[in-house]
Amino acid sequence: MNNKIFTILSLFLVLCSCNKKLEIPPENTLVEKEVFKTASGAEQALSEAYFNFLDAETNYFSINYGDFTTPLLEKSTGSLTYDLGEATPTDYYVVQTWQQLFKAINSANNVIVKLPLYAQFDQQIQKQFIAEARFVRAFGYLQLLCLYGDGALSGNMSGLGLPLQLTPFEGYNTGEIIPRNTNGEVYAQIIKDLTEAINDLPIRQKDELKTRTRATRGTAYALLSRVYLYMGDFQNAAKSAEEVIKSEPSVYSLTQNLRTLFPYNPNGNAQSFTPEVIFGLPVSQMVSNSTSLDNGLGGSYFFKRSYWISHSFLNEFDPNDLRLTQLIWKGDSVYNPNMFGEKTTFKYNNSFGRDNVPMIRYAEILLTRAEAITRISGINDEAVELLNKVRKRSLPSSADFTVNDFADKEALINEILKQRKFELAFEGLYRYDLIRNNLPIHNPDIPENRKVLPIPQIEIDISKNLITQNPGYTK
């Protein structure tokens, strides 16, 4: 498999112009030796992993699938297939999302396995690059597990997960095809990657943009907190979130102005990230003389042709909530007259998809710890304080909650989940909150075994049925 690193990959990491193309064919060890020999060559190989992850997330539906299949949005008939659990194993997005996320994982595997063989530069930098690649691999596997792991969000650790490919994939004809591991085994590998990466990751990267777009120690802890929350391991979810919170305010903090966090960007200008963004995709930054990217979200939301915000969701907000008044808007008012009266999210307000995409925000971490410690200890002061911290930003004139406002543990958890819904709407997470809490997704009658996507048929065919289909899609 030939992997080419173009100018845009250099932009991702070093944000400078470079016209050089770098080929990394696994069969050519001489080329690999040159690539991984120097820090600059290895960093470009690492950039391929980051870029392939960005490409998988933005060009397909890894992100917006987590929202458009929930009650947050109404949708066109073309999107209803996914609501009904009727996606097919040959569906374009089902196939491409799987393949592109595995492409990112394979790029990370190249760094993890081959850099130690050929590197001739500073050992600490080597360790950092491998740790960053482990983060990319872990994030790729988590996204795949949420989409394709049978029962992965419902506590079924013995359910069919994913093939754990931990070395560079040399091709289908080499006998390297492996069967699906269990959900529990995939989760364990994700946790192993992140925990092993933590000590070799910096607290900050070399500049502010890289701190928000490359793996750091806090980024790994933040992703770990999400992993543990999805597993129902609340003790470790709370501990991991606490490690991130310890960094406040030196590295991470809430951005008090929502329009600074999600800026108006009609011209698609390069935008920075605020300290609230723990990890994000720098789409607006990735432009050169010949290349620009879109986030795969802006056009879909802006023009409201595929989906638009449901009135029932809008009616759940307090009328004074700034997440309603500042982060919900009309979108297109020129090209789609049938939808002029409907609302969409302001988070991706550039019609060409030139907005950055936050993947993990500090607000999520605060709510994760609040939920986790409530599930462990019941109503407690810290959880209520964390809840207030997120809620108060959007309802500054409201009275703070106190422990006396909640009749029982479940009442506090329900309020935390409600704030997660309001706060993280349209960031690709709501579906997974519903499933892990055994709440109905958009279609309440969908069978449990169809709350995941089918495995692409091409993977089953090429593996000669070694890779098996999810039970909900077998005849």
pLDDT in tens, 29-45: 568 889 999 999 999 99
**Residue 322 has which token pair?**
């700034």
When the candidates are 1.25.40.390, 3.40.1190.20, 2.30.30.40, 1.10.1040.10, the CATH number that belongs to 252-285+293-439 is 1.25.40.390
CB 180 within 8 A of CB 186: no
* Per-residue pLDDT, 177: 84
DSSP labels, 196-230: HHHTTS-SS-SSHHHHHHS--HHHHHHHHHHHHHH
DSSP labels, 116-162: HHH--S-HHHHHHHHHHHHHHHHHHHHHHHHHH-TTTTTT-TTSB--
Query: Phi and psi for 28 in degrees, rounded to 5?
Result: -110, 90
Distance CA 302, CA 261 (A): 18
Q: Give start-end residues of each CATH 1.25.40.390 domain in the chain.
A: 252-285+293-439
* Per-residue pLDDT, 173: 60
User: Residue written as tokens 């989940």?
Assistant: 417
Distance CA 255, CA 320 (A): 18
In tens, the pLDDT along 127-180 reads: 999 999 999 999 999 999 999 999 999 999 999 999 999 999 876 665 678 999
CB 140 within 8 A of CB 118: no
Map residue 5 onto helix, strand or coil. strand
The residues with which 345 forms a beta bridge, in sequence order, are 328
Reported as half-sphere exposure (CB side, CA atoms, 13 A), residue 474 has a value of 9
* Per-residue pLDDT, 310: 97
* Per-residue pLDDT, 286: 85
pTM of the model: 0.94
| Class level of CATH domain 1-60+89-201+448-475 | mainly alpha
CB 442 within 8 A of CB 86: no
* Per-residue pLDDT, 20: 31
Query: What does the CA dihedral 103, 104, 105, 106 come to, rounded to 10 degrees?
Result: 50
Q: Among residues 292, 282, 305, 262, which one has the least CA distance to residue 426?
A: 262
CB 7 within 8 A of CB 18: yes
* Per-residue pLDDT, 2: 37
Q: What is the number of other CB atoms lying within 10 angstroms of the CB of residue 216? A: 26
Distance CA 78, CA 150 (A): 25
Q: How many residues does the structure list for the chain?
A: 475
* Per-residue pLDDT, 7: 40
* Per-residue pLDDT, 22: 34
Q: Which residues of 75-114 are buried (b: 16+ CB within 10 A; e: fewer)?
A: beeebeebbebebebebebbbbbbebbbbbbbbbbbbbeb
* Per-residue pLDDT, 12: 54
* Per-residue pLDDT, 349: 97
| Separation in Å, CA 475 to CA 82, 249, 314, 460, 468 | 19, 54, 40, 14, 12
Query: Phi and psi for 389 in degrees, rounded to 5?
Result: -60, -45
pLDDT per residue as tens, the chain (475 positions): 333 333 445 445 544 333 333 333 444 556 888 999 999 999 999 999 999 999 999 988 899 999 999 999 999 887 788 888 899 999 999 999 999 999 999 999 999 999 999 999 999 999 999 999 999 999 999 999 999 999 999 999 999 999 999 999 876 665 678 999 999 999 999 999 999 999 999 999 999 999 999 999 999 999 999 999 999 999 999 999 999 999 988 999 999 999 999 999 999 999 999 999 999 999 999 875 555 689 999 999 999 999 999 999 999 999 999 999 999 999 999 999 999 999 999 999 999 999 999 999 999 999 999 999 999 999 999 999 999 999 999 999 999 999 999 999 999 999 999 999 999 999 999 999 999 999 999 888 899 999 999 999 999 999 999 999 999 999 7
* Per-residue pLDDT, 19: 31
Q: Give start-end residues of each CATH 1.25.40.890 domain in the chain.
A: 1-60+89-201+448-475
